[in-house]
Structure 1
Amino acid sequence: MFKSDLGITGYFHLQKFTFHRLGIDMTTRSARVIKIYFLTLQIIALATILIPIAVYSWQHIQEIVEVTNAMAPFMQATISLWKIWRVIYRRKEMAQMAENIYLISTRASAKELTHLIQENNRERLMNTAYYYSVLNTGMLALAAPVLVSFIQYLRLGEFSYIVVLKATYPIDYARPLNYFLIWLWTAVAIYGVIYGSVSVDSLYSWYIHNLVGNFKILQSKLVTAESASELSERRELIYYCIAYHQRIIAMTEQLNIIYQPIVFVQFSLNALQICFLAYQIGSGVVDTVDLPFLFLFMISVGIQLMIYCYGGQHLQNESVNVSKSIYQTINSSSWPNELRKVLLISMMRAQKPSKLTGIFFDVDLPLFLWVWRTAGSYVTLLRSVDQKTM
């Protein structure tokens, strides 16, 4: 699908890698599933791990620390499972949209390509940090309980059988074989969480930054059109810019349709998830060995939120900047009335920002602040409930 990398370092690399790990080839127009059995195994592991966690939370409903400990990963698993299902359902549209963005980007000149290079570098840095944060969180979650159990065995001569996730498992995990099977089950589920989250979130970021890059290229083309000496050449460039603008807007609207259900579920659960993590960190009753995992988990969720909120705000700002470029262009006295009228219509359309929504809310930086403020309110509520039950 991508015949070249357009001279951009790491172009679509992380997205290709993470989707391949998930079991989907996103570099083909059909986005075929290349590891159907492995993908099915991840879905089953994620879906089934939710049940014992939910049962455990219900059994310990009066113990807020235990409930928050179990529900934070429960919500992340739910979000990741939902993302995987949406990818399976929409994967062809997602791959076709990636191809369309690539094809429209190939028409950029060497000078205009600097905008895409800048945006893709920004996207690559953010997504790489996000990937390693999520990967280290998952690895720490799997390794820490086993390591602590082994250290206690060396010190006390007794293996503690500490599980990765707090849950009411269907088998007794205080036996070596059962403990290993539960650890393996959890490992597959966490693998699904890592690559289900990073693949979808990094692809969203790639879409956003490349669309923003094309909005910037559009503004460069408007400047080029203004400096054209021949009226016929200027007219041709202007009509091309209008068609180019409409195409970018159409792709933005398609992106919103694809990601709207994902964004709605994610942000509906993120405030509670952050609340549970913050409560555990500040409760003072969590084991010291668990704190690095909780901090990493919190950082990963924060980066995940920033990818969506910053991306949505960045897209809004750059789409509105097009109207400013058009306004500066039509003020030139060298423009005939015919082209001024055409540009005026485009300017009116550009004044309406291209927004990404979660059905009931816009995805922008104020939403990022709202999630954290809401999570803080929930933490205060949990602490007051905990004090009353003491």
Structure 2
Amino acid sequence: MMDYIIYHIDDLALATASLSIVFTNVLTVIKTSTFLTYKREFKSLMAEFERMYDESGAKRCLVTLNVGAKRFVKLYFYSVSCTGLYFTIKPLVSMIWAKFQNKPLLLELPMPMRFPFDFESTPGYQFAYVYTIFITIMVVMHAASVDGLFVLFTTNLRGHFVALQYFIETNTFDKSDALLQRELRFYVQYHVRLLDLSQSVQHIFKPIIFGQFLMTSLQVIWALSCSAVGTAVQMSQWYNLPPRHRHVLRLMMLRSQREIIISAGFYEASLANFMSILKAAMSYITFIQSIE
């Protein structure tokens, strides 16, 4: 894909389309490598959640939440799979349709990729096509699996916290001193256990969350880098234009100075906001380290 980007570096649309997929694949690599690095921690978390499912007395709440979480994960997996299937069969459908209309047959790959061999004719094209499908399946399976684990972990944590709140709110505390001490001890131990689990989930998913934020922000910045248009006008041979036509480029320069922004509810995805988030994050990290 990087070879494809370099080859089409002068075509912003093609380069951007391929770079977005590169970012997605990089994020999948981050997810997979994080899972392999913390494989023991993942197993320990799953075992701990299983033990707490039987010991905490919160089965009813957890069953309901897990049903919703499983449905959400399935929906997410199906949506990602459908996206991968679309990219996989789209070239085949296009070639069949072109042959049906007696148009020139263009060999197209599922993803914008280039290979260090002849992939534009048989049998190199067939090998490149099968390889691309295999990589797509691997990306879909790994991304959906790790994301599904995150949903299930956080859902179970939320269920346990809700259960603990329910135990405390519905307790009248009108009991003997020995029974009260036993129940309060259970609440404290349950709470500490949940806090430890929360820290573990945060620790193993921290690289993935950071990678998700970084890759998404880079895609937005790359796609919305409209200020380069003004630079291109300045670097062009604008002086060869007749004076009556130069105002067109002048208007384009003025418009390129206004940043393109994607609004998502209360958040606006832009380069300025991205940099401000990074600065704030570094300030918080420095502050916390100074306290520790």
TM category, shorter:
0.7 to 0.9
Residue aligning to 1:233:
179
1:189 matched to 2:85:
no
1:271 matched to 2:217:
yes
Taking structure 1 as reference, are residues 164 and 63 closer, same or farther at Cα in structure 2, changes over 3 Å only?
same
1:104 matched to 2:52:
yes
Q: 1:227 and 1:79 mapped to 2: Cα distance?
A: 50
Where do 1:281-360 residues align within 5 Å? none
Distance apart, 1:67 and its partner CA: 1.0
Q: 1:234 and 1:218 mapped to 2: Cα distance?
A: 16
Distance apart, 1:128 and its partner CA: 1.6
Deviation string 1:34-71 (CA, Å, 9 cap, x unpaired) is xxxxxxxxxxxxxxxxxxx1122123223210111111
**Conserved? CA contact 1:275–1:376, under 8 Å:** no
1:74 matched to 2:22:
yes
Where do 1:24-173 residues align within 5 Å? 53-109=1-57, 112-156=58-102, 158-173=104-119
Q: Please list every run of 5 or more consecutive structure 1 residues that lacks an aligned counterpart in the other structure.
A: 1-52, 280-366, 379-390
Taking structure 1 as reference, are residues 274 and 195 closer, same or farther at Cα in structure 2, changes over 3 Å only?
farther
Tell me the secondary structure at the aligned position of residue 176 of structure 1.
Answer: coil
The code of the aligned residue for 1:373 comes to A
Over the matched positions of the two proteins, sequence identity in percent amounts to 18
Q: 2:265 and 2:69 mapped to 1: Cα distance?
A: 18
Tell me the secondary structure at the aligned position of residue 241 of structure 1.
Answer: helix
Distance apart, 1:276 and its partner CA: 6.5
Which residue among 254, 258, 273 is the counterpart of 2:204?
A: 258
Deviation string 1:288-321 (CA, Å, 9 cap, x unpaired) is xxxxxxxxxxxxxxxxxxxxxxxxxxxxxxxxxx
Q: 2:127 and 2:147 mapped to 1: Cα distance?
A: 30
**Conserved? CA contact 1:70–1:166, under 8 Å:** yes
Taking structure 1 as reference, are residues 237 and 87 closer, same or farther at Cα in structure 2, changes over 3 Å only?
same
**Conserved? CA contact 1:69–1:276, under 8 Å:** no
Deviation string 1:233-284 (CA, Å, 9 cap, x unpaired) is 11110011101100100010011110111111121011333566899xxxxx
TM-score (norm 1): 0.56
Taking structure 1 as reference, are residues 179 and 376 closer, same or farther at Cα in structure 2, changes over 3 Å only?
farther
The code of the aligned residue for 2:79 comes to S
Taking structure 1 as reference, are residues 228 and 119 closer, same or farther at Cα in structure 2, changes over 3 Å only?
farther
The code of the aligned residue for 2:100 comes to L
Tell me the secondary structure at the aligned position of residue 78 of structure 2.
Answer: helix
**Conserved? CA contact 2:220–2:269, under 8 Å:** no
Q: 2:186 and 2:141 mapped to 1: Cα distance?
A: 39
The code of the aligned residue for 2:148 comes to S
The code of the aligned residue for 2:166 comes to S
Taking structure 1 as reference, are residues 193 and 376 closer, same or farther at Cα in structure 2, changes over 3 Å only?
farther
Q: Please list every run of 5 or more consecutive structure 2 residues that lacks an aligned counterpart in the other structure.
A: 226-263, 275-292
**Rg larger for:** 2
How many equivalent pairs are there?
Answer: 236
Distance apart, 1:369 and its partner CA: 5.7
Q: 2:61 and 2:75 mapped to 1: Cα distance?
A: 22
Distance apart, 1:375 and its partner CA: 7.9
Distance apart, 1:158 and its partner CA: 4.0
Residue aligning to 1:178:
124
Distance apart, 1:183 and its partner CA: 0.9
The code of the aligned residue for 2:87 comes to A
**Conserved? CA contact 2:30–2:207, under 8 Å:** no
Taking structure 1 as reference, are residues 90 and 190 closer, same or farther at Cα in structure 2, changes over 3 Å only?
same
The code of the aligned residue for 2:42 comes to M
**Conserved? CA contact 1:225–1:238, under 8 Å:** no
